[in-house]
Structure 1
Amino acid sequence: MSGLEAVLRPHVGSGAIPGLVALVATGDDVEVVALGSQGTSGAPMQRGSIVRGASIAKPLMAAVTMMLVEDGTLDLDAPVSGLLPELADPRVLRTPTSELDDTEPAQRPITARHVLTSTSGHGFATVETPVVPLLVERLGQASMELDKVPAPDEWMRRLADIPLIHQPGDGWTYNASYDLLGVLLARAAGKDLAELMAERLLGPLGMVDSGFFVPMEKRDRFTTLYGSDLSVSDEPDGSFAEPPAFASGAGGIVTTVDDMLAFGRMLLAGGGDLLTPGSVRQMTTDHTTPELREMGGFFLDGQGWGYGGGVDTSVREPWNVVGRYGWVGGTGTSAYVIPSRGSVNVLLTQVELGSPESTAVLEAFWTHAATA
């Protein structure tokens, strides 16, 4: 039994998770472990099993954003209202906990950089705010039923009616900015986000099993999704069986460990043929301040935020490595690169986390990847 399997096997079949597939790669040395079942079908988990990636989509979105910046299609510091007129005159809660009618005008325009750094004012907060229920009810945030999310133009119309939690640039909030980013990129490029991502990122990297839905011919490799209580949440012929009206850049990706390995290796190679090293450095560099990290609370857990993912800035836990970049998904997924070790580390499960807190299997995997 390999060291990776020994670390992960106790978490499978013990009532914690039905199955997982994990990968740790350092250079050409690649270790993959697949344990348990894909779901209610009883099919065994395999290296090529397809899993709902959820928020590990965010670093992919950041990469596509930087491609558009490099080719001059998008200006990070231009107001987004040029492409998103719905956000030309946003209202902002007077304080994050104010009532919905207690607002003031935005003091500055929302820029693409605000969206990329999750400082636009859209998203989940770590304080009680009346905005969050609206994000869930009207925009489908924090739901894996992405087939029920309205198409981008209607989504933007609804978003425009929801006040910002904080002034653009003055706070850090989670998730909704990356769905907003998807609409921004699509309008900038003049094509659907799914088409844009396939053309600019997934295709060139050979990420053949990644996208926003699972076609019938691949459905036998698609996993069941379970809730945190292990009740069935979604089956392979459910929410991801058809292309969605709204391709969620915040969390709508499906993927495999080998596809995420290809993405991680591109980052470790300084962008390869897709990005300049400078763009990769911007993605993997902490862009927060102590005040923003405090606002990020349990989402950031005291660490930094780059473009699309977290950046370890200190060793607070056994799994932290300064410079580690990546993110976790609410469906029990994790994908990180550790530049100092030249490693790519991917764990895919199919059990929703249920909260922003990490789980025992994630922590065991991260610690192994950081210390093996």
Structure 2
Amino acid sequence: MSPTATAHRSATPPALPRARPEAVGLSSERLARLTARMQQGVDEGEIPGAVVWVARRGQVAYEQCFGLRDPQSGAPMTADALFRIASMSKPITSLAIMMLVEQGKLATSDPVEQYLPEFAQLTVGQLVTADDGTLTLNRVPLKRSMTVQDLLRHTSGLVYGFTGNHPIKQAYNQAKVGRHGDTNAEFVTKLAQLPLLHQPGAAWEYSVSTDVLGRIVEVVSGQGLDEFVAEHIAGPLRLVDTGFSAPASQASRSAYPQPEGPNLQLPPIPKPTDDLAFKSGGGGMVSTMADYARLCQFWLNGGELDGVRLLSRKTVALMTSNHLHPGIAMGPEMSFFGSHLPSAEMGQGFGLGFAVRTAPGLNPLPGSVGDFSWSGIYGTYFWVDPQEELFAVLMMQSTAMRVPYRIIMRNLVNQAIVD
């Protein structure tokens, strides 16, 4: 990482205020259920360790560490542990894009090829079955250009290679899209050679869209994505440990996974100190609980923290509103999201970087209309509930148990609201 991208690490962030749970309408007795369930997960070997915070009305009312930071050495979890946050990078990259929008340097309605000329020749792949049963992948023209808004809300037609066996997804894997050794520019050049799975705007498909946004940040700003995040987001908000890697000197704070799954294998989570060439705006960042909590309070405040405003209240309202039109198709293999799927059937939609709850009921998990959230495949999770003036964050490194613990968090935090 460049010196510019690490300069903010010498700062000390002001701590968010603390309060007793009862002072902000939470029950200590009921929060003890969350403590007991998290400790049970450690004791039974479900997860190696975790950090959990819950804040309400601008004050942190619950903060607990569980288990081990490093299962191999036996080092206990600490409040300042460094985590790979995977897709919880997406809201940060989306913030970068919207800051550039507010500066008049781009618009969400702009076609992507305006900034990435390689995308001018994109096509959509269509599978055709011959009489003998063989499949052919034909390429057809786009009905309209992919827009920046499509990238922000995952309606671009792009995909992730790991989410299914469709031939286009297999082509992503064969091309090694998102390879750690590629630069962001090389990533986009490689991606532009592959067909889209959907026409832009036709379906919601979780994808590398936010990685493409990261490259747009670079083109528009003239800075590397890591440099932009460090100078314009992490620095001003005093997120002292948030970036694309941690310095080697901070290795003793890194959180690590344990062997998991049916074969008891270590999940392929990069070390927080690995400085990868690919600055993945969709999944490449490192952070801590204290930093991400400050970011959640920033969103809850409508784009401002400690007197520093990065976005207007109206832009935050736009980002946290549903941008999926009624009846939009979900990608054919997106059902694995379960209760987190941004579908009308689940009472959810997707904004510009977040899933957004759109209706009461429907979803099996508790929450409020207008709450917004996202998670990371490595085990991290957050949501912000403006109606309740609440946010909660889970930091752990586990791919196998990430979904069950999102559900645990939703249920056991919401049941502790008693006012």
Give the TM-score of the pair, scaled to structure 1: 0.90
Q: Secondary structure at the match of 2:352?
A: coil
| 1:53 to partner: Cα distance | 0.4
| 1:234 to partner: Cα distance | 5.4
1:35 lines up with 2:66 in the alignment: yes
Alignment of 1:61-72 (within 5 A): 61-72=93-104
Provide the C-alpha distance between the structure 2 equivalents of 1:227 and 1:162, rounded to a whole number of angstroms: 35
| 1:227 to partner: Cα distance | 5.6
Q: Against the structure 1 CA distance between its residues 132 and 227, is the aligned structure 2 distance closer, same or farther, given a 3 Å change threshold?
A: farther
| 1:344 to partner: Cα distance | 1.4
1:191 lines up with 2:236 in the alignment: no
1:306 lines up with 2:351 in the alignment: yes
| 1:61 to partner: Cα distance | 1.4
CA contact (8 A) 1:7 1:365 kept: no
1:23 lines up with 2:53 in the alignment: yes
Q: Secondary structure at the match of 1:311?
A: strand
Q: Secondary structure at the match of 2:75?
A: coil
Aligned residues: 362
1:320 to 358, 364, 367: 367
Q: Could you tell me which amino acid in structure 2 is paired with residue 317 of structure 1? A: P
2:121 to 89, 106, 111: 89
Provide the C-alpha distance between the structure 1 equivalents of 2:335 and 2:53, rounded to a whole number of angstroms: 29
Gaps spanning 5+ residues in structure 2: where? 1-28
Provide the C-alpha distance between the structure 1 equivalents of 2:148 and 2:157, rounded to a whole number of angstroms: 12
Give the TM-score of the pair, scaled to structure 2: 0.81
Q: What's the RMSD between the two structures over aligned residues? A: 2.3
Q: Secondary structure at the match of 1:322?
A: coil
| 1:228 to partner: Cα distance | 4.2
Provide the C-alpha distance between the structure 2 equivalents of 1:5 and 1:45, rounded to a whole number of angstroms: 14
User: What's the % identity of the aligned pairs?
Assistant: 32
1:122 lines up with 2:167 in the alignment: no
1:52 lines up with 2:52 in the alignment: no
Provide the C-alpha distance between the structure 2 equivalents of 1:214 and 1:256, rounded to a whole number of angstroms: 11
| 1:338 to partner: Cα distance | 0.8
| 1:140 to partner: Cα distance | 4.5
| 1:290 to partner: Cα distance | 3.9
Q: Secondary structure at the match of 2:382?
A: strand
Greater Cα radius of gyration, structure 1 or 2: 2
Instruction: Select between 174-183 and 311-320 the one with higher mean Cα deviation.
Output: 311-320
Q: Secondary structure at the match of 2:216?
A: helix
| 1:307 to partner: Cα distance | 1.1
| Residue 299 (structure 2) aligns with | 267
Q: Against the structure 1 CA distance between its residues 75 and 323, is the aligned structure 2 distance closer, same or farther, given a 3 Å change threshold?
A: same
Q: Secondary structure at the match of 2:173?
A: helix
Q: Against the structure 1 CA distance between its residues 213 and 127, is the aligned structure 2 distance closer, same or farther, given a 3 Å change threshold?
A: closer
How big is each residue's C-alpha offset from its partner over 1:246-293, in whole Å with a ceiling of 9 and x where there is no partner? 100111111111111111111111111111011111111111134336
Gaps spanning 5+ residues in structure 1: where? none
| 1:102 to partner: Cα distance | 0.9
| 1:241 to partner: Cα distance | 2.8
Q: Secondary structure at the match of 2:394?
A: strand
Q: Secondary structure at the match of 1:61?
A: helix
1:10 lines up with 2:10 in the alignment: no
Alignment of 1:109-258 (within 5 A): 109-124=145-160, 128-140=165-177, 148-226=180-258, 228-229=260-261, 230-233=264-267, 239-258=271-290
